[in-house]
């Protein structure tokens, strides 16, 4: 076995403290995140490259998982001859270190330009591999990269204060940063190019009313489930005071405000709904209500 092909994820944990399963949850999440990074970064070389991450060994003391990325499928016509799989594998190692090191240098991600620079650095690493016949390497999408970073962060949440996770390969050692913060609002802002707000009369089928507080209601709208906050305070007070009756399966005729956020590929990345005014309650036919509660 070529040691240069191996990577190691190591977690130095506090022995005899806390829920022991937390360490294994963190390790599972980091392994899955590593596999996701391999899958996404391999498409920079070619959409036809296929990789698999396999477990080679587990060591106790600190929890250490030794892994190997296997480049299973690779297009011959687009790449130079030679040790192609090894070159692609080394690029994937470098790209993963780049992401982990980038995260370790900051406690927050708050600017799209920061992420675009990371994308450019990874793209440069692909070019330096010089594995393609033509120097045409695909970019990694901002949303995909942020999703992978978020996945790493979620894995690290299982660790306790003072526990350290590292990623090791022939390229060096990188330390995961459990303090990195990415709020949903910032994440949405970074991947949003523009937002379009519309307002109009709609009919929404009630799936989950809020009987107590200002939480969002669940509705079925345009064939899918949405959540919407009711801004009509008078109607909401009447409903929560039981002066207005609404059951799951009933519908509301409302003035609905929709804010659709579009990413840089012109796809919808987020939708936000608010009910400005409730016009009327439309009771469900009796047989539908019976089916809901039977």
For the chain, the average pLDDT equals 87
Joined tokens for residue 284 = 């469900």
CB 151 within 8 A of CB 29: yes
CATH class label, 193-293: mainly beta
- Residue range 171-190: mean pLDDT, rounded: 88
Q: What is the rounded average pLDDT of the residues 147-169?
A: 93
For 5-71, the DSSP string reads: GEEEEEEE--TT-S-THHHHHHHHHHHHHHHHHHHHHHHHH-TT-EEEEEEEEEETTTEEEEEEEEE
Cβ(192)–Cβ(142) below 8 Å: no
Query: What is the pLDDT at residue 32?
Result: 94
pTM: 0.73
Domain-wise residue ranges, the chain: 3-188, 193-293
Average pLDDT over residues 135-146: 87
Characterise 69 by phi-psi region: left (phi > 0), alpha (psi -120 to 50), beta (else).
beta
Helix 84-104 × helix 142-156 angle, to 10°: 70
Q: Is 237 helix (H, G, I), strand (E, B) or coil?
A: helix
CA distance linking residue 88 with residue 131, whole number of Å? 8
- For residue 221, report the phi and psi dihedrals to the nearest 5 degrees: -145, 130
Residue 3 has pLDDT above 70, yes or no: no
Can you give the three-state secondary structure of 104-156, one letter per residue? HCCCECCCHHHHHHHHHHHHHHHHHHCCECCCCCCCCCHHHHHHHHHHHHHHH
Give the confidence band of 1 by pLDDT, cuts at 50, 70, 90: very low
Question: Under 8 Å CB-to-CB from 150, ≥6 apart: which residues?
Answer: 182, 187
CB 158 within 8 A of CB 26: yes
Place of tokens 């999408």: 141
Q: What is the pLDDT of residue 99?
A: 97
Residue 151: pLDDT above 90? Answer: yes
């Amino acid at each position: 076995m070529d040691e240069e092909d191996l990577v190691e994820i190591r977690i130095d944990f506090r022995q005899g403290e806390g829920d022991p399963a937390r360490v294994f949850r963190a390790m599972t999440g980091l392994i899955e995140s590593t596999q996701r990074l391999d899958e996404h970064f391999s498409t920079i070389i070619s959409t036809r490259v296929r990789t698999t991450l396999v477990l080679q060994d587990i060591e106790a003391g600190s929890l250490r998982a030794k892994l190997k990325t296997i480049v299973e499928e690779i297009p011959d016509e687009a790449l130079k001859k030679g040790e192609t799989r090894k070159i692609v594998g080394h690029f994937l190692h470098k790209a993963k270190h780049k992401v982990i090191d980038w995260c370790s240098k900051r406690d927050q991600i708050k600017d799209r330009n920061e992420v675009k620079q990371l994308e450019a650095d990874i793209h440069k690493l692909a070019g330096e591999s010089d594995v393609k016949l033509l120097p045409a390497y695909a970019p990694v999408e901002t949303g995909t990269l942020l999703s992978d970073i978020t996945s790493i962060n979620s894995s690290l949440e299982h660790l306790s204060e003072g526990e350290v996770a590292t990623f090791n390969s022939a390229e060096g050692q990188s330390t995961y940063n459990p303090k990195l913060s990415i709020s949903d609002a910032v994440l949405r802002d970074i991947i949003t190019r523009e937002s379009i707000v519309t307002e109009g009369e709609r009919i929404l089928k009630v799936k989950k009313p809020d009987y107590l507080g200002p939480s969002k209601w669940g509705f079925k709208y345009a064939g899918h489930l949405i959540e919407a906050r009711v801004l009509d305070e008078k109607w909401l007070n009447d409903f929560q005071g039981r002066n207005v009756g609404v059951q799951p399966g009933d519908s509301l005729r409302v003035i609905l405000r929709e804010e659709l956020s579009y990413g840089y590929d012109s796809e919808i990345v987020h939708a936000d709904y608010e009910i400005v005014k409730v016009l009327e309650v439309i009771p469900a036919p009796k047989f539908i209500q019976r089916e809901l509660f039977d």
